[in-house]
Amino acid sequence: MNYQETLEYLYSRLPVYQHVGGSAYKEGLDNSLALDKYFGHPHKKYKTVHVGGTNGKGSTSHLLAAILQQAGHKVGLYTSPHLVDFRERIRVNGNKISEQYVVDFVANHKSHYEPIHPSFFELTMMMAFCYFAEQEVDIAIIEVGLGGRLDSTNIITPELSVITNISLDHTQFLGDTIEKIAYEKAGIIKPHIPVVIGEAEGEVRKIFESKAESVDAPIIFAEDENLIYAADKLDNGSWLFQTNAYPNLKGELGGLPQIKNAATVLCAIDALRKRGIHTTMQSVYTGFSLVTEITGLMGRWQIIKQANPKIICDTGHNVGGIKYVSEQLLSEKYDRLHIVIGMVNDKDISHVLALLPKEAIYYFTRATISRALDENELADKGSAFDLQGNTFHTVKSAIEAALTNANPDDLIFIGGSNFVVAEALECF
């Protein structure tokens, strides 16, 4: 098989959560442990950092990878889902895994892993672990796929665990309350391994404290550290953070969530330094200011076009993510707001739509995956919250309509789903 045929095999033969949803979700670690045994426990050949949470774990993972790379470490980065290219999931020092490695991995080991019946995520995770071992990375940043306690990635013993925040998402698997979800996310807290918590209040905080105490894991709440005492938004959408340790720290990633993500990352870097993992002041400055160039990160309050009209996309897709998107849109300057939106059918649609601005022209659409919510159904649900607009069967046609209708001083926002953003990026 060539590379394209290999991808088609992975997507067609293995259950892919991004495409089909819950039927691809395999709870438990049995498959991961079986694969890990066959491949010789590759993740034990390098240090790891485990990053979980509901929102912000992608930005946090990429920032950590960028800083560690700039400090001279050879860094593996495993994240999901990808936006445009499958190989975005697996990187070493910002470079995507080679097409040939993907082809050879699938072909050489098929007879061994097929009897295990792994999911797409389980196999691609093991591909990443093996690739990092072959590339002899010093440290790998491993992003949790879904949840934590029973997520495939939870077979690793990291140098540090990071949990960004908790919001309602994937409730059909993780529970229908914040507390139940927090319990699942807390599952990545390991015995004697420090954990950094980005954001937690009330019962959620107590759940994390209880879990950490039960396994004698040092716990640090980034909010308690007061690392960032000022954050100013710059004209290009990036941030200028003021901290005692890093004055005038420029954060390239835009969007309100990046303030808390930045505090989480600074706290994590300090925790890693205490574990003997070296960073420098300059590596922090460079990592924050050039994270997209260093790691290839896309889709986080990404300005696709600066003006005439301005176009922004963001992958926020649950209540926690959309809350920040809506707040950020309020701070933007424009004559009219155009929103191209599509969602998948297993999200908390109504609560998300309730957060979106009513004073906007909507272009309801759908990504080309089976999980995508029909654009007409989305429009009907949107009308219940006074969100008015037209429907479009493809993301491309929705964007074309928005561009046709928009004046130079308008703003076009594209989001609601990772898959809508992915197809939008391909359009541009």
Same domain for 309 and 250: no
Residue 169: band (very low, low, confident or very high) from pLDDT cuts 50, 70, 90? low
Neighbours of 202 (CB within 10 A): 9
Residue 20: band (very low, low, confident or very high) from pLDDT cuts 50, 70, 90? very low
Token couple for 138: 């010093």
Interval 395-428: pLDDT, tens: 999 999 999 999 999 999 999 999 999 999 999 8
Q: Is the pLDDT of residue 273 over 50?
A: yes
Q: What is the pTM of this model?
A: 0.92
Which of 250, 265, 295 marks a domain boundary? 295
Interval 89-120: pLDDT, tens: 999 999 999 999 999 999 999 999 999 999 89
Q: Provide the number of structural domains found in the chain.
A: 2
| Residue 339: domain span | 302-427
Neighbours of 176 (CB within 10 A): 11
Token couple for 309: 């009209």
Same domain for 308 and 290: no
Interval 24-62: pLDDT, tens: 455 679 999 999 999 999 999 999 999 999 889 999 999
Same domain for 47 and 105: yes
Residue 175: band (very low, low, confident or very high) from pLDDT cuts 50, 70, 90? low
Among residues 142, 145, 155, the alpha carbon closest in space to that of 68 is found at 142
Question: Given this model, what pLDDT does residue 13 score?
Answer: 79
Averaged pLDDT of the chain: 93
Which of 263, 280, 295 marks a domain boundary? 295
Interval 73-82: pLDDT, tens: 999 999 999 9
Contact 365, 340 (CB under 8 A): yes
Q: Is the pLDDT of residue 232 over 50?
A: yes
Residue 23: band (very low, low, confident or very high) from pLDDT cuts 50, 70, 90? very low
Same domain for 288 and 311: no
